[in-house]
Every structure is written in structure tokens, then in C-alpha cells.
A and B are shown apart, each in its own frame.
Chain A
Amino acid sequence: MSSQSIELISAGLLTTVQDLGRRGYQRYGIPVCGALDPVSLRIANVLVGNPEGEACLEITALGPTIRFNSDSVVALVGADFKIDLDGREVRTWESVEVSAGSVLSIGAASDGLRAYLAIAGGIDVPPVMNSRSTDLKGVFGGFEGRHLQDGDSLPVGDSPHVADWSQRGLPAGISRQPTFGQEFQIRVVLGPQDGEFTQTGIDTMLTSEYTVSVDSDRMGYRLEGAEITHERGPDIVSDGTALGSVQVPGSGQPIILLADRGTTGGYTKIATVIAPDIGLLSQALPGAKVRFTAVSVEEAHEAQREQESMIREIKSHVGLDLTGTVSVRSEGSEVRVVDESGGRIAVPDVTGSRTSTRTISTIADGEEFEFELTTAFQ
């Protein structure tokens, strides 16, 4: 067990431990849970040198104030929050070095709703069914199966990052962070039960503006707007509920099912929000406006490939996407890892073992070694 930990001086509005969710247990009725905006969680992890799926703090609307008991590196990615470190304002969407005793205060979201605080080494709560995500309804996983409270102390894992990891941000080609605003264009694939709706019902959904209701949570977003009409009725024999399912009960008001959804449900599902837009949708606050566009499964997959390529570009930029051979050269008392062009890069994993500048500092000045790099990151 790592001796590193963080203490929540104040917990914020709704702060939970989440990773990429609990996979493979839906057949037992166990919800997936996990980050509502998984892409932001992955980027936050990449920025601190973690594997993409490491457990982070999911922060909602109003952030926590956190004291660190050891030196670390953190990054906050997602909605725009005001953050300061020991009274000095620091930036979101880039890695920030913190020292033992530092206090990080995350204020209110000024744009969007949720962000992910990654800490080098990850939040080291015990995995339950292979995930550290909190199941708030089932009261298990995460930290004691609940949202965090003032005074909670959380274990942090051993950090894989090398020294000099701070100030890593997004590559120049990638816009710093999205602007969410109050109007959301969300892409859906029609089905699986679009056949249970009238053509008017489908047209209504695709041409109307819906408002996010205050009764929205991690299970689902309730929307209010023009009534979507069924061909026969709203009930079907219960079946599986995919992430992003747009369920329409008898009221004709759609509900979009999110990470904490039940695994099965008995209402007709007119459409499904595409995976690349799930994170975007989850940044909508109550009162935000949502419009739907229908796309094909192929178009959705293309959007996902673009998103994956963006994440790869960030990994490459921060030095996590290394394969092949680099050389390690000592310069005076310090060892530097250089790539072919001679630029200094970070090596998260050298020949299978985590290595820092200190552990190979006995190499003589000017000596050069070649290492086969194995990146342990997905």
C-alpha cells in the first residue's frame, strides 16, 4: 500500500472516485458507472503520466479543496473550473506540480459541469469487480461506495511519472479546451426501437429543442420539450439499455441513460447518443438546450476514430506514446533520455521496469545506452 494520500478539506458538491467503469458484470445486473465524460478522464490521466483508465476524482459544478501529503503532479480536465494552488492561480488542461503540504482549491465551474482531477499514480481505492468506480446506488466501489465528504482521506498509488513532468499541456494543434455553453448539438443513431414511434414522433425529436431538466443525474438526463409520440405504446418487454439510450416513456419526454443507468429497462428507446458525444452531453447543466442530429453507425465510428487520434496526439506530445529504441545518455550527474533528434523526452517505462533519473545515475559521463522501450500504456 502506498503511503501517499490526499485529504479533502472540503469535498465539493458531488465528488466521486471514477475510472472507465465496471465492465463485464451487466449480465448480473451490475451497472457500469464510471466517468460521465470518459474522454476528459483519459486526457487528465495522460497529462500526469498515468495509464488512461486510472481512477480520478470526478468533480461536479463546485470543486473540492485538497491537501497533498507528498509531492505529486495533477491535472484537471473537462469543464472550466477556477483552480488555485496555495493561493496562486493555475491552469486546467495541463499538468501541475504540487508539493507535500500544498493545498489545491477547485472553485465553481464557469463553463460546463464536470471535470476530472488526475493525480500521478491514481486514486488507489480497492477495485471492486475490476473497477474503482463508485456505484452510488449500489453503495459499493470507489471510496466506501459514496460521494466524498469533508475530511475524507484517499490513498494515492505509486507514481509512474518521471521527474520534470510538470507544465505538460496539449499540443499546439489541439484547441485548449472546448467551450460548452448552453446549447448542445448531440448526434444519435436511431434505434433500437425507432420502429415503435410514429414518423411524426421521430421528426419531432430531430427538429425540436429540448431543455435539460433539474431531475438529471449520473443515471440519466431527463429532457423537457415537444412530446414524442409512440405508434402503439411506451412499454416493451424489458431489454438491455446501452449507454446513451434515449428512452421515451408514456409522457413523451425523453430520458437519456448515462453511466449509472440500470442494466435493463422496459421503455421504448427511440435512439442512442453516439459514444463520442456522451462526454459533451454530460457537460450540460439543467436548463441547457439540446438538439439531436441523426447519423449512421459508420459516421459515429468515424467520429470516434477522430477522437482517438486526438488522444493519441496528446499522448505522443507528452511523451507517452513511445515505441522503438531511444538512447539514454548521462550528462554530468544527470542522465537524460533523448530521442533520435536529441530532444529530451520522458520515458515512462524502460525495458519493463519503471526507471527514474536517480536509479541509473551511476552511468559514467558521456556513456550511451540503447533501451528497447515498452510502453505499458493502452
Chain B
Amino acid sequence: MTSELNGDASSKRDIRFLPAGDQAVVVEFGSVIDPEINALVHRTAAAIDASDIDGVLEMVPTYRSLLVYYDPLEVLLPELQEQISGLAIVDEEIRDEFRIVEIPTLYGGEHGPDLEFVAQNAGMAGSEVIALHSGTDYLVYTMGFSPGFPYLGGLDMRLHTPRLPSPRTLIPAGSVGIAETQTGVYPVASPGGWRLIGRSPLRLFDPVANPPTVINAGDRVRFVPLDDAAAYDDIDRQVKEGTYSAVTRVGR
């Protein structure tokens, strides 16, 4: 079943077009983080990709909106909005297939210096934190702000942990952390205030690969605990030799 994006009164679709200057427009589907709304964002991006709408330069799908960059010398805003509104979008009852990307992670120790803090904060053992954190598939709502950084949803409430009072100046690439209600993995080294519970040897961002990132919006991410430093080093070596490929499965 398909229906027009903005033409079905019975659906809860309520889209708004908000100009983001003169070269981009926000197509907004809602104001909250919600998997259904997010799926609609990605389906709309796919529909625009597959369409013959002229003048669309690139799109940035996020949690609940789609930023569409356009060339005003090729298409004007009212025309672009009309064409996007008229797109046929697969109805939300139909579940997509999705990809599950496994992130091998060594929890605790020097790779996850804040595991103990997170455990104390949650009133449980470190091993329980690991079991909870690695026991679920996280939806990748969107990618941003930096290369290959996935915004993940679905962190167990018991693991919600405040940020560090003062951010670390450098978090190593591959660090797996928790900040408030979010969990994530840093593809590139950067400063940050996240509580670090582990590290993955995967190279999640490679500027010369196509696509440049392993994880993409709409994927699910599963953290898979590694037994020990030897297992970490083994994958790390394969990654550096270019012989490791990330494990992915198809879910639905």
C-alpha cells in the first residue's frame, strides 16, 4: 500500500515545510524521537532519491525531519514542496527489512574506564551492565554531527547515566559510551563527556571507502562483548591489515 505523503487525512502524517534559508528546506514530520516518525523520514528520503525531482542536491535525514538542499536555479521552493508532498510513500504498517551491524566491543578495563561508575550508578554489577548493554539491537535514527557518528535509540533506562562533570580532552576512536539516555560509539577521536564503558576495534569511518561509514541510518547496531584483550587485538590486527569485514545480518 502506498499513499501520498501529505494527502491522507486518516494518517497521522502531519508534515511541515520550514525554509532553512534560500538553499534548503526542512521537511518536518514531528517534534519527538519516535521510530515510526523516523522510518517515515528515511522512506521519504528514499522516495526523493528514486524520484525525478530536479534540483535536489543532497538530503540529511535526522530523527524526525529531513533537510533537503536544493539548487534554486533549477527548482523553486513552492514547486519543490508540491513535488515532495505528492510523493508516493510506502505506508507505515509495512515493516522494512533492516541491517544489523555487529560492533565487537571489549568492555571495562582500560578500554572502558567508566564501566564501574555506570554499574554503581545503576546499582548493579559490571557484568550486568555488559549483559544489558549488549542484549539489545539499537536503532540508528540518524548520522551526524561528525563523520560516521550514529545517534542510537533504545538504551535501557537502568543504564541512563549523567555525563562527566568535565569532558575528557580526547576520547579514542572506537570508544563506546553512555551519555544520559543515549549510547553510541565514536568513529573518530574527539573530546567528549560521555561515560566510556568499552571500545571497539572496528574502523567505523574511512574517508576513502565507499560508503565512508560502516553504520548507516536505519540500520540496527548490536554490541557484541569480546572475551579478552587477545580477541580485541586479533580483530584490531585484521582491521589494520584490511582483512576484517564487519558482521552484518538482516533483520525485520
Contacts and interface: CB of A to CB of B under 8 A. Distances in A.
Contacts of B138: none
Given A138-B188, A297-B77, A272 B19 contact: yes
B147 A30 contact: yes
B39 to A, nearest CB: 15
Given A26-B58, A27-B59, A240-B67, A262 B146 contact: yes
B213 A29 contact: yes
A287 interface: no
Nearest to B24: A242
Given A25-B212, A128-B208, A308 B73 contact: yes
B76 interface: yes
A181 interface: no
Nearest to A139: B188
Contacts of A275: 21-23
B144 interface: yes
B251 to A, nearest CB: 21
A191 interface: yes
Contacts of A300: 21-22, 72
A244 B21 contact: yes
Contact of A28 (B18, B28, B216): B216
Interface residues of B, number: 46
Interface residues of A, number: 47
A172 to B, nearest CB: 26
Contacts of B94: none
B143 interface: yes
A99 interface: no
A269 B62 CA distance: 15
B54 to A, nearest CB: 15
B63 A238 contact: yes
A170 to B, nearest CB: 22
Given A242-B67, A262-B146, A301-B72, A269 B77 contact: no
Contacts of B188: 138-139
B53 interface: no
A265 interface: yes
Nearest to B41: A239
Contact of A263 (B20, B23, B145): B145
A347 interface: no
B70 to A, nearest CB: 11
Residue of B20, B28, B64 most packed against chain A (CB within 10 A): B20
Given A128-B207, A264-B145, A26 B22 contact: no
Interface string A172-195: 000000000000000011011100
11 contacts: A26-B60, A28-B143, A28-B147, A239-B64, A240-B24, A240-B66, A242-B23, A242-B24, A243-B21, A264-B62, A304-B73
Given A191-B19, A239-B67, A242-B20, 17 more contacts: A23-B58, A25-B58, A27-B217, A31-B147, A129-B207, A140-B207, A237-B31, A237-B32, A239-B62, A239-B63, A239-B64, A240-B66, A263-B144, A264-B60, A275-B23, A300-B21, A301-B76
| Ranked 4 nearest A-B pairs via Cβ | A240-B67, A272-B21, A264-B144, A262-B145
